[in-house]
Amino acid sequence: MQSNDLKAGILRMEGTNNEEEAFLSLKRSGFSSEYIHVSEIGQKKLEDYDLLFIPGGFSAGDYVRAGAIFASRLTPHIKSLNKFVDSGKLLIGVCNGFQVLSELGMLPDLDRKKDRTMVLAVNTSNKFECRYTYVKYISKNIIFKKYFSGKIFQVPVAHMEGKVLFDSEKTLGNVMENDQILFQYTDQKGNKASYPWNPNGSVMDIAALSNRDGNVIGLMPHPERVYYNFQMMDDGKEYENGTGKIFFDALYEYTKKLTA
């Protein structure tokens, strides 16, 4: 465990249900974790945090669309969020958090105007998908490159609306050109994924994306649920550490360098 000298804020509202796993994972990797209910923003200033994390769950019961109401609750604070991101700090959204970032237009944010150019649609199977799968790192983004390059990693997924779709082939092309695809789903051997390894039918087997600057990150898998190797399944238990520890250690080390 690190020295807990960096402050992570976990945004939550009614219906989020992975905030405790996120809280503990961030704390175990060195952050001083703190919950921020959306109603507390303003009283708690976002700029006082070194990292912000939007956890998974079913915020507002996923009414309208998954993440839509959470995003609308954050919209009055969009200037503060944009200022936070423009400072270079990390904004992470997992599962429902990824959906929130999509709804806000913060991913993929090709033109830095927060235009909506992607959606996390209903899974191709038309059902809730909950299982372990595998991902590989395909980016040059320095946050994770040292930790994830050259291997495949087991991760759990649990979502109904996780299918990454863009508004055009041009948008997808720009996302690829900008190196914004961080992780892709694979099978157990690291090969191209088909169902069920790609649980939702995402284009290009996308499991995680960043914005153009690489510091807003959305992913559908749940690394916070597998911080330790004993939380993983079958061959995952052969890893020295859980995928979550690797993921959150990477966030801590990058954030520490930012504040040095």
**Architecture in CATH of 6-259:** 3-Layer(aba) Sandwich (3.40)
Q: Which ranges of 49-200 does DSSP label H, i.e. alpha helix?
A: 68-74, 78-86, 96-103, 145-148, 169-177
| 3-state SS assignment for residue 181 | strand
For residue 76, give every residue at least 6 positions away whose Cβ sits within 8 Å of its Cβ, in sequence order, or none. none
| pTM confidence score | 0.95
Compute the mean pLDDT over every residue in the chain, rounded to the nearest whole number: 94
Query: Is-catalytic flag, 240?
Result: no
Distances (CA, A) of 208 to 64, 216, 247: 23, 11, 12
Catalytic residue among 21, 129, 161, 224: 224
How far does CA 36 lie from the centroid of its chain?
17
pLDDT tens digits, residue range 194-251? 999 999 999 999 999 999 999 999 999 999 999 999 999 988 778 889 999 999 999 9
Annotated catalytic residue 130: no
So what's the pLDDT on residue 121?
96
Of 21, 103, 159, 222, the catalytic one is: 222
Termini Cα distance of the chain:
19
Q: Is 95 a catalytic residue?
A: yes
Residues 30-76: tens digit of each pLDDT: 999 999 999 999 999 999 999 999 999 998 788 888 889 999 999 99
- The active-site residue out of 95, 103, 129, 159 is 95
